[in-house]
Amino acid sequence: MSWPTLYAQLAGANRHSTSLGKVWLSVLFIFRVMVLVVAAESVWGDEQSDFTCNTLQPGCENVCYDQFFPVSHIRLWCLQLVFVSTPALLVAMYVAYRNHGDKKRLLNKGQEEELDTLRKRRLPISGALWWTYACSLLFRLLFEGGFMYALYVIYDGFQMPRLVKCDQWPCPNLVDCFISRPTEKTIFTVFMATSSSICMVLNMAELAYLIAKAVTRSRNSHSKSRKERMQNKTNQKLLVSP
Amino acid sequence: MNWSGLENLLSGVNKYSTAFGRIWLSMVFVFRVLVFVVAAQRVWSDDSKDFVCNTRQPGCTNICYDHIFPISHIRLWALQLIFVTCPSLMVMAHVKYREGKDAKYVALHHGSHLYANPGKKRGGLWWTYLLSLVFKAGFDASFLYILYRIYHGYELPRLSKCSLEPCPNTVDCFISRPTEKKIFMLFMVTSSAMCIFMCLCEMIYLIGKRISKLVKVRHENERILFAEQHELTNMAPPRSQYRKNDPTLTDSQLSLNKRERVNGGTITTTL
């Protein structure tokens, strides 16, 4: 169970998203998950073993490391990616629920041959699906922003210092501690922060697009007659488009 | 540890679960197994190497590590995840057994089925499903309790004092990454608690649905019984037989006092 399985789950939900949503998923998996797995893990791999303090006092290094790295960057990014991917499962669950209801209706009517097209069709983003999708976008934005802010607060910005001074017990006095590969870590931190911001911008654009679409749709329907609207709704439900 | 094998096994269970069960399964695989594999395991990877005690006595560090960590959190969580996902296999086994029985019946009775839908939760399968929920919640709760007892509450102190043989006196020992470990411990404990809560919700939903169905069926039966009894009872003869007719009334005026109803051949008169 790891990233490929998560990708498989999300790709299923992707069918019902807008084109911006599909771009978001690609950015997420190429620039963030892959970079995390391939590069960042090896950069942060020896973070504790190569964290050296200028002391022979046993325990001082452990305590200073713990003080300056309450949560490692890698773990924060992993959690961020897991949480950010979860709202898409909301949409997948709603689609599954809709398909289940429609399947029951079709079976009652006796139209078994349409079941296959039901599974492959793409639902239009309107009504309850619109609200579910918009909620999932909001949650994504919240999680992204929250984790970025947490990283910023814990590490006082996105830069990794070369030297930190520590005087926690049992260190005998103020001790110099040196972090391993600070420049490389800074580069990767900035890279991940940038791709996170790009994803946030994509999500905001998608949300704006959805709202604009809903507004134009409601404006168009005000000019149509009520009967036409009901007919359109019934047609949408009966017609199955792949 | 090959979690994808377990995941393949369990993806079949989704078909026979309720909506709650499917959400539970997604929660377990996304928030618990995925986080466990990609994040938590790395945090505990250098557990024993970076455990440092303030002594040069050989063996003291090993003994103190063993005393403080009788079983590592990671191993406990791996066991917990395996135990918690297995009861669903009970349900799958029962469905497969039903399908086997159905196939044999079809072969013997030339086409007619024993079960209209072997996956529908009726009869024995309902009880198996309920039992699997009880086991899931039970395993999760017992592992949480075991973790609580071994580590004295969900605490992971930076410093532990240890004075076992062969340590010469009371020695300070320092755990590696205590804060990060505590964060992940709280995360795993919270997600376990949420899974237990979902299991309880699902149990209440199943039992509630069954009770409401039974009540509806009983109500329906009572209604049918009452209707049948009502039709069969002989009504009292019309009051006009005991009452003197007003001789000045015409026939049509007489009939206005009665309401006649023809019901399946028998005439019942109500006033």
CATH number, domain at A64?
Answer: 1.20.1440.80
The residue range of the domain holding A118 is 3-239
- Provide the residue-wise pLDDT of chain B in tens; the chain has 271 residues: 567 777 777 777 777 888 778 888 888 888 888 888 888 888 888 888 888 899 888 889 889 998 888 888 888 898 898 888 888 888 888 888 888 888 888 888 777 777 777 777 777 888 999 999 999 999 999 999 999 998 888 888 888 999 988 888 999 999 989 999 999 999 999 999 999 999 999 999 999 999 999 999 999 999 888 888 877 655 665 555 555 656 676 666 665 554 444 444 444 444 4
> What pLDDT is recorded for position B269?
45
> What pLDDT is recorded for position A176?
92
Interface probe, candidates B8, B32, B34, B36, chain A, greatest A C-beta count within 10 A: B34
- In the block, tokens 């006082």 appear at A156
Angstroms from A58 CA to nearest CA on chain B: 5
pLDDT along chain A (242 residues), means of 10: 77 80 85 83 82 89 91 91 88 81 78 65 79 92 95 91 90 90 89 92 92 88 72 73 50
> What pLDDT is recorded for position B40?
84
Strand partners, B160: B173
> What pLDDT is recorded for position B94?
86
- Contact state of A58 with B174 under an 8 Å Cβ cutoff: yes
Nearest CB to A1: which of B23, B29, B183?
B29
Nearest CB to B39: which of A48, A69, A75?
A75
Q: Please give the Cα distance from A84 to B203 (Å, whole number).
A: 30
Question: In terms of CATH, what superfamily is B9-222?
Answer: Gap junction channel protein cysteine-rich domain (1.20.1440.80)
DSSP string, A55-123: ---TTHHHHHHHHH-SS-HHHHHHHHHHHHHHHHHHHHHHHHHHHHHHHHHHHHHT-GGGHHHHHH---
Enumerate the domain spans of chain B.
9-222
Which residues does chain A have within 8 Å of residue B43's beta carbon, measured at their own beta carbons? 72, 75
- Contact state of A74 with B159 under an 8 Å Cβ cutoff: no
Angstroms from A41 CA to nearest CA on chain B: 10
- Contact state of A75 with B42 under an 8 Å Cβ cutoff: yes
Q: Please give the Cα distance from A41 to B254 (Å, whole number).
A: 101
What would the 3-class secondary structure string for B47-96 be? CCCCCEECCCCCCHHHHHHHHHCCCCHHHHHHHHHHHHHCHHHHHHHHHH
User: Which chain A residue has the Cα nearest residue B31?
Assistant: A82
Cα-flanking dihedrals φ and ψ of residue A176, to 5°?
A: -85, 130
- Contact state of B38 with A2 under an 8 Å Cβ cutoff: yes
Total domains in chain A come to 1
User: Which chain B residue has the Cα nearest residue A64?
Assistant: B177
> What pLDDT is recorded for position B266?
46
Which residues does chain B have within 8 Å of residue A1's beta carbon, measured at their own beta carbons? 3-4, 6-7, 29, 33-34, 37
- Contact state of A170 with B172 under an 8 Å Cβ cutoff: yes
